[in-house]
Amino acid sequence: MPYFDAASAAPLHPVARQALLASLDEGWADPARLYREGRKARMLLDASREAAAEAVGCRADEVVFTTSGTRAVHAAVAGALAGRRRVGRHLIVSAVEHSSVLHSAEVFEADGGSVTHVGVGRTGAVDPGSFAAALRADTALAVLQSANHEVGTVQPVAEVAEACRAAGVPLLVDAAQSLGWGPVAGGWALLAASAHKWGGPSGVGLLVVRKGVRFAAQGPVDERESGRAAGFENIPAIVAAVASLRAVRAGAAQEEVRLRELTERIRTRVPELVADVEVVGDAERRLPGIVTFSCLYADGEALLHELDRAGFSVSSGSSCTSSTLTPSHVLKAMGVLSEGNVRVSLPVGAAEADVERFLQVLPGAVAAVRAKLGAPAPAVRARPAELVVDSLGKRCPIPVIELAKVIGDVPVGGTVRVLSDDEAARLDIPAWCEMRGQRYLGEEPAERGTAYLVHRLV
């Protein structure tokens, strides 16, 4: 059954499984003890911390292992706000942050603090200027995700971090969705992440606090993890988490190209196959594996059940709030269609054949949900599978120009047949296909001139 909900939790990476099993026999003892078993456990913990620091781009003594990404966020927000209490009690977050950030903001506000929610545009990205304008003399902390968990939009972290640095305000980055693809750029001060987002085991989070950042851990503390995450470390899980992070990073560049092509295929094909659909999120500045769309006249939960019966695991809106039956706060902040929302988040190694089958199944699933709800039959926006461009008697580049104008009028997988009697077309049309990422199928004799066949790929 194809699993297309990696943004919620990625399948356990094979390297993580191997590392977990291997470290169970060596990492069970208390790493704070000086006897042999404790020293072995300490070596595994220290090596994992060094590797995690390398992946993040920080010092090893700035890395803390927590029991989850949510726990890392809560600890980061509470600790940074407490550490800078003398500066003021003002917190800035974006309107599309993960629920863990928003819940921390609610607790802070209930305790007398003030919170500013910076809005976003229709793509889901904050405007750096608007974020900078929200900074005040009493701002103790600012929080911005590196990329959105629902629509995949990448945030301008470096620009916001620079504005925060100029104002003397630390920036906490929630890097849960992006850390598996690469380090977060910019002068951020704190960072949180979660291992199960990149194929590590659940129950392991990362908290990074840069040197020089005022931080006061809240709640009962002990001597472990620099006093910032109390409790016995789950060393086998930590080892597996860091091993999987290194493994996915090693193949990230190649896998990013592949997943971007698959998600772009979904972004392009879904509006062609299903009427009354809005594809949301930034078309360019986005994570490789996430694509989100909303279907008018459809219920998201019912649509997920239809797709589940068809063999596909996807999510709708926010995985953290879908059970509340309230609209996604992310889609609401973006001002986009929220009904009938589907988030497809492809895991590493997702098969092209599964994506193609999803595109085949989706129209029927949407139609079934709409029929059950008594929705009006949407207008069918059919596109011919083949178009003929008659460029006989016209000199190049006219045949190529006319091809470029109509290639979007056939669906992906469709064909354009260009009729031309200009010899230059034999060179120009294949060259155009190469430049534009389309497939040149060859030529055929025509009643007059030659027919050049072009297969639409994108």
Residues carrying an active site annotation: 320
Determine contact, residues 52/245, Cβ cutoff 8 Å. yes
Structural tokens at position 172: 């906490």
Q: Which of 263, 299, 301 is nearest to 279 (CA)?
A: 263
Query: What is the maximum span of the chain, computed from C-alpha positions, in angstroms?
Result: 89
Structural tokens at position 1: 């059954």
Angle (nearest 5°) at CA 94 between 241 and 293: 75
Structural tokens at position 49: 């911390």
Packing angle, helices 300-309 and 352-372, rounded to 10: 130
- Per the omega criterion (within 30 degrees of 0), is the bond before 397 cis? yes
The residue assigned the tokens 């027919």 is: 451
Distance CA(440)–CA(349), nearest Å, equals 28
Distance CA(250)–CA(247), nearest Å, equals 5
Determine contact, residues 228/209, Cβ cutoff 8 Å. yes
Structural tokens at position 87: 């500066």
Q: Which of 356, 347, 331 is nearest to 248 (CA)?
A: 347
The residue assigned the tokens 């089958």 is: 357
Q: Which of 238, 268, 249, 308 is nearest to 16 (CA)?
A: 238
Q: DSSP secondary-structure letter at 116? A: E
CB contact set of 257 (below 8 Å; sequence gap of 6+): none
Q: Which of 203, 71, 196, 216 is nearest to 141 (CA)?
A: 216
Residue 53's identity, in one-letter code, is A
DSSP 258-292: HHHHHHHHHHHHHHHHSSSEEEES-SSSB-TTEEE
Distance CA(64)–CA(231), nearest Å, equals 12
DSSP 47-84: HHHHHHHHHHTS-GGGEEEES-HHHHHHHHHHHHHHHT
Q: How far apart are the first and last CA of the chain?
A: 27
Distance CA(245)–CA(360), nearest Å, equals 33
